[in-house]
Amino acid sequence: MREQLPPQTVVIFGASGDLTKRKLLPALFQLHDQGLLPAEFAIVGYARTPMTDEEFRDVARKAAAEFCSNPPGDDRWRRFAGHLSYVAGEYGAPWAMAHLADYLKAVEAPMREPPGRFFYAATPPGAYPDVVRRLGEAGLARGARIVFEKPFGHDAASARELNDCIHEVFDESQVFRIDHYLGKETVQNILAFRFANGLFEPVWNRRYIDHVQITVAEDIGIEGRGAFFEQTGTIRDMVTTHLFQVLTFLAMEPPVSFDPDRLRDETVKVLRSMMACDPSRVVRAQYTGYREEEGVSRGSQVETFAALEVAIDNWRWAGVPFFLRTGKRLARKASEVTLKFRSVPFNVFRETDMGLPRRDHLTFRIQPNEGISLAVNAKKPGPGLELGRVELDFDYDTEFRTPILDAYELLLLEAMEGDHTLFLRQDGVERAWEVLAPVLENPTRIVSYEPGTWGPPEADALLAPRRWHLWKG
Ligand code: BG6
């Protein structure tokens, strides 16, 4: 049971943007609807576009209707909408946020105690340094928390520069770098599965695991974000962030406690043990038709798919390849992790007609069909000795019957509570860029793939003779 939060003011920078509409406003509405926001709270949208409070509420209502799993009826909406307001303003000019400071004072005056202040930088990342400086000048940084949406820089040097700029105004304890994959129940459950059960940890290493696969496949394309994607590409958008975070949870050592910094010490250690990726083990591909999308250059060399092998050079994982793949416009949406165990050391059934036992594997289904399954061999009923493949399966839906909290809802709450456990630390972000530097600096040749497939044949060749695995094919 969560404790009721003290009063809060949330200011969203980039309030007229896509992230605010798709994720932040729907998440805040749903938190309010579930009684998880404090009784006294204010949500202030801030962006350059001129808008009245009423117009901002309209935008928010449409967003909630489109993106909430439980869209608002009139009464539920009215109760929430009263907390929303909007301030138009600039980012670039010195002192551009002085009026925001006055506005917040007025909004917070009726609250019974001084509220926690919480800023969300949902602007294009290029505006982060301005947001930070303007907040500093206006005296708004003191005692506040600030959340930054990824990407944090576009390489190690720019990430360091951004972190330095942030630290001129905010202390690291005030900073929350979001990677929404860490807000997914199923990703957090990797830690519960590993560290709350004694069964698997002894085999979670190079002696028993042949290789690890992480797939984050999307059936959607770039969804009108051509300009953003041209600057970013799949490696920056998905690999340095979501896939690496999932990998750190899979590969980390048990932390000494669940204290945010002890946990993050361990995830950062994984990134430090990763060898810089070898460009010859990276496949970059682009779906046919990408270059015709709005905002995309006709000769674009930006990847919409990436598959790569990475290595973790430490005691536990030396010699175990980690294969990662992610892409847009693939056959279906599926985010999964599979650990393939080694074959049995000796086949005691070799003189029977049982055949060669297949390798066991464990699959975490991050989304959809959230769950975990362990595929093992079993004797088929009947005379003789024939092997069949069976699955021991856990499915969230049938087991818990509790709707899974959206990642953004959870992370907004955690940030308001000041808990850093599920947020990225500066050193981890910088190290993730270093691991991928060889391919970011010298991108490998791009190949193409057809929409609706699983990517180019080069991605299959990367694993061969092993094969990519997905639950139920
Ligand atoms: C975002 C990326 O961080 O994650 C998007 O910028 C991507 O390109 C999205 O579509 C995927 O998130 P999810 O939760 O739908 O897997």
Question: For residue range 284-326, what is the model confidence (pLDDT) as tens digits?
Answer: 999 999 999 999 999 999 999 999 999 999 999 999 999 999 9
Q: What is each CA distance from 236 to 63, 157, 284, 437, in whole angstroms?
A: 27, 14, 12, 11
Question: For residue range 143-158, what is the model confidence (pLDDT) as tens digits?
Answer: 999 999 998 999 999 9
Residue 321 confidence (pLDDT): 98
Number of the ligand 1 atom closest to the C-alpha atom of 335: 16
Evaluate: CB of 218 within 6 angstroms of ligand 1: yes
Rounded to whole angstroms, the Cα distance separating 156 from 240 reads 11
- Could you tell me the end-to-end alpha-carbon distance of the chain, in angstroms, rounded to an integer? 39
Number of the ligand 1 atom closest to the C-alpha atom of 184: 14
Say whether pLDDT at 1 is over 60. Answer: no
Q: What Rg, from alpha-carbon coordinates, does the chain have?
A: 24
Active-site annotation holder among 32, 211, 242, 361: 242
- Amino acid type, 351: E
pLDDT band at 401 (very low <50, low <70, confident <90, very high): confident
| Distance from the alpha carbon of residue 220 to the mean position of ligand 1, in angstroms | 10
Q: Which of 205, 207, 237 is nearest to 221 (CA)?
A: 237
User: What is the mean pLDDT of the segment spanning 40-69?
Assistant: 95
Which tokens in the block code for residue 459? 């991605």
Question: For residue range 418-473, what is the model confidence (pLDDT) as tens digits?
Answer: 999 999 999 999 999 999 999 999 999 999 999 999 999 999 999 999 999 998 86
Q: Which of 184, 178, 111 is nearest to 149 (CA)?
A: 178
Say whether pLDDT at 358 is over 90. Answer: no
| Distance from the alpha carbon of residue 19 to the mean position of ligand 1, in angstroms | 11
Write phi, then psi, for 57 (nearest 5 degrees).
-65, -35
Question: For residue range 183-198, what is the model confidence (pLDDT) as tens digits?
Answer: 999 999 999 999 999 9
> Closest residue (by CA) to atom 4 of ligand 1?
238
pLDDT mean across residues, the chain: 94
| Distance from the alpha carbon of residue 397 to the mean position of ligand 1, in angstroms | 22
Evaluate: CB of 406 within 6 angstroms of ligand 1: no
Give the position of tokens 């969804």.
223
Catalytic-residue membership of 420: no
Rounded to whole angstroms, the Cα distance separating 430 from 152 reads 9
